[in-house]
Structure 1
């Protein structure tokens, strides 16, 4: 139910940043499934139409939320060598996703061509171009880093929401998947930071200017 403002209380001007911040607070409190235009309106104590004035649809609201999350990545004090710079940016990207409940779900489900996202993307692409990659390869390496980061962050956050329940045991008990049974312990390894480091090293190691 929408909150009523006390008589005589000056109304605080509402802008898009305030709407997005309220949406992120709702996300952190209740998760991605709870984010809606109505939920944000109730949190702000305003009508839905007021929220829709700043975010025309739920899809647009999610885009603005995704950009705000990525926009939290600091782009200062980066290493000068391109390889170290790209690695550091990837780690900062992962940290910003994990800083918000279901942050990876929000970012992965949108295509936000907005300032925060564009600034981060530009910084990462610049690092890869500085490493001698041509435009096509720099773009594809960037996408690969992004997919690795989003995928692992989503898995990590989903596992945390399930209180760490993550087992293939029952599905493999019948012996129908012998190869999976051999590696099940490794597939279920929840060492997400190590897995991220492994994947990032494999992506960046062949990305140098002398690679075929």
Structure 2
């Protein structure tokens, strides 16, 4: 009988999913710029070629990571009214981006034609189709909502108190009278309030 070896390391079987999970942990701990194939391989304790065999390229890895972010979106208990459905889906989309460090920057840099991303787009279009007059306008409204939410959330995740204070100081001290008049709205509204107002305006309820 062969004695069982004690204390030998047990390596988790590597799959594209385990590579993506490791990359997402790296993203949360160190930020998007630190997510490299070499860093993911080091985290998994394997050679970089092993990671490449599973996900092929960094672009492909980022697409799979972006789709994993979309996988956290839920579709239960949506409101009955179409416009409210759209708003709630966009709230859930924003929360999925905020759930990961640099989540919006990650998704903005990809074009993930993957199941979870496509499911969200399909659900949003279905709600927009009941709210808009034509398929064409629904598609364009989807783009407007997605780009607005990505841009706003990317700024939210990158903004610091120093950046906001510097903006206020520059606007108040320079030759910008219109900025000064609107400074309370521009600098004091929360990102959540900006998001709600922007979605409402895009949907034509300003």
TM-score by length of 1: 0.86
| Unpaired stretches in structure 1, ≥5 consecutive residues | 1-5, 208-212
The Cα RMSD (Å) is 2.1
Large movers: runs of 4+ above 6 Å:
none
Count the aligned residue pairs.
200
2:121: which partner in 1? 121
> In the aligned structure 2, how far is the partner of 1:202 from the partner of 1:180?
21
In structure 1, the residue matched to 2:108 is 108
Q: Classify 1:139/1:55 alpha carbon distance in 2 versus 1 (closer, same or farther; 3 Å).
A: same
Distance in 2 (alpha carbons) for counterparts of 1:173 and 1:91 = 33
Corresponding residue for residue 91 of structure 1: 91
Residue 165 of structure 1 pairs with residue 163 of structure 2: yes
Cα distance in structure 2, aligned partners of 1:19 and 1:138: 36
Confirm or deny: 8 A CA contact 2:168 2:187 kept in the other structure. no
Equivalent residue of 1:188, what SS?
A: helix
Q: Structure 1's 188 and 69: CA in aligned 2 closer, same or farther, altered over 3 A?
A: same
Distance 1:169 1:84 in 2: 34
Match for residue 196 of structure 2?
A: 197
**Unaligned residue ranges in structure 2 (runs of 5+):** 1-5
1:148 deviation in Å?
Answer: 1.6
Supply the distance in 2 between the matched residues of 1:174 and 1:195 (Cα, whole angstroms): 25
**Number of the residue aligned with 1:63:** 63
Please give the per-residue CA displacement for 1:168-211, whole angstroms capped at 9, x wherever unaligned.
Answer: 2443465333322332332223501111111111112359xxxx
* 1:42 Cα deviation after fit: 0.9
* CA distance in 2: counterparts of 1:170 and 1:135, whole angstroms: 45
The SS at the match of 1:46 is: coil
C-alpha change, 1:33 and 1:48, in structure 2 (3 Å) is same
Q: Is the 8 A contact 1:168 1:184 kept in 2?
A: no
How far did 1:133 drift? Answer: 2.8
Find the counterpart in structure 2 of residue 144 from structure 1.
Answer: 144
TM-score calculated relative to the size of structure 2: 0.89
State the shift of 1:156 in Å: 0.9
Q: CA deviation at 1:134?
A: 0.9
What displacement does 1:17 show? 0.8
